């Protein structure tokens, strides 16, 4: 399932996607150079969406993913919460595939299912 072209993910920026068209973004992607990090757009604290406005998932420094609700901070590369009410918990990774033509796809269509 295609999300976008990598050229539409600026280096250092974050972006939300609604691949299953549920009416809100359910996947967040952060680009760092040639690497993409994707997670479910659901905070482990209350399982709520994380952006404070469309595509705004990072703190002011761009060094952490931050939850708008209560300010939890997460490492971009691991999804680990390093500050806030869900300290030690992690965002749920979403595997991506980057095709040779630059298209970014979900590796699985089941990203809305909570792992058991």
Residues lying near ligand FES in the complex (CB under 6 A) are found at 43, 45-46, 48, 67, 69-70, 72, 84-85
Output 40 or 45, the one with its CB closest to ligand FES.
45
Instruction: Retrieve residue 84's tokens.
Output: 């806030």
- In the complex, least distance from residue 77 CB atom to ligand FES, rounded to whole angstroms: 19
Distance CA 53, CA 94 (A): 21
| Smallest gap from residue 49 Cβ to ligand FES (A) | 9
CA angle 49, 54, 58 (to 5 degrees): 75
**Counting beta carbons within 10 angstroms of the beta carbon of residue 55, is it exposed (0 to 12), middle (13 to 18) or buried (19 or more)?**
middle
The residue (of 6 and 37) whose beta carbon lies closer to ligand FES is 37
Of 86, 88, 93, nearest in space to 69 by CA:
86
Minimum distance of ligand FES from residue 34's CB (angstroms): 29
Closest separation in Å from C-beta 1 to ligand FES: 26
Nearer to ligand FES, 85 or 93 (CB): 85
User: Which has the closest alpha carbon to 80: 69, 64, 94, 96?
Assistant: 64
- Cβ distance to ligand FES smaller for residue 36 or 69: 69
């Amino acid at each position: 399932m295609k999300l976008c072209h990598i050229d539409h993910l600026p280096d250092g920026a974050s972006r939300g996607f609604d691949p299953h068209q549920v009416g809100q973004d359910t996947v967040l992607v952060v680009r760092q150079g040639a690497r993409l990090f994707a997670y479910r757009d659901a905070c482990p604290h209350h399982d709520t969406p994380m952006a404070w406005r469309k595509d705004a998932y990072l703190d002011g420094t761009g060094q952490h993913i931050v939850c708008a609700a209560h300010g939890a901070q997460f490492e971009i590369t691991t999804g680990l919460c390093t500050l806030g009410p869900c300290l030690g918990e992690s965002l749920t990774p979403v595997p991506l595939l980057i095709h040779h033509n630059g298209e970014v796809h979900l590796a699985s269509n089941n990203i809305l299912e909570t792992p058991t």
